[in-house]
Amino acid sequence: MSAPSSEIWRPGDQVSPHDASNTNIHSPEVFATIERGIDSLDKELRELTHPELKFEEHHAHNVLTAFMEKQGFEVTQHYLMPTAWVAKFTHGTGGRVIGVNSEMDALPGVGHACGHNLIAIAGVAVACGIKYTLEERDISGTVVLLGTPGEEGGGGKVILLEKGAYEGMDACLIAHAALAPWEGQNALDAAVSAYNSIAMLRQQMKPSHRIHGIFEGKDWAANIIPDYAKML
């Protein structure tokens, strides 16, 4: 069996990129180029974002768009939404269009504990890595980076989708992760358990007795384990 080719498949080539017997899809040389491009921006990437709540990401909007302009992207500020933005770069003629998302907003009370500062930076890094590689290896294509506000309860990407922001993309990427939920101590679960235990007493109580209960929370978000809950 012959060794797979190390050439990069480009739109217009006769061989399908899915034919693993004829094309090596994963190219170490290209990966190394992407890494070099991202590593060269390491220090600057770590200084980019600021914790602001959904649809209030004004500082993040300004800092990120200024950075993308500095990197040679064509930037549109306030793109379809007040704090959304788009940065585009095209090399050559034709090729694929790769979309990337940068979420920016933080959560009430916990700030960037959900990691959107890292998601914003990761999106910028991916877009810059693609741009660097298109130029270094002379590959035709376009990268489109979207700054997407209001992920936390605002549906920012849904609004952008409905307004056509994702049209024309061949693929769209985002980095997102939740970390170590087993380390959390869930105050809401504790309050719910107590509430349910008290509720089971009600059928055994005399009609002259009443028990009522409500919950109170502080800075709750559906995807964050709450560290405070109060039952009255």
pLDDT digits (tens, 9 = 90+) for 149-174: 998 889 999 999 999 999 999 999 99
pLDDT digits (tens, 9 = 90+) for 207-228: 899 888 899 988 888 878 888 9
Phi, psi of 124 (to 5 degrees): -60, -45
DSSP 81: S
Hey, how many other C-beta atoms are within 10 angstroms of the C-beta on 127?
A: 26
pLDDT digits (tens, 9 = 90+) for 98-131: 999 999 998 887 788 778 888 999 999 999 999 9
Q: Which domains does the chain possess?
A: 28-175 (3.40.630.10), 183-231 (no CATH)
Helix, strand, coil tally for the chain in percent (to 5): 35, 15, 50
**DSSP H helical ranges for 97-186:** 116-136, 156-162
Hey, how many other C-beta atoms are within 10 angstroms of the C-beta on 50?
A: 18
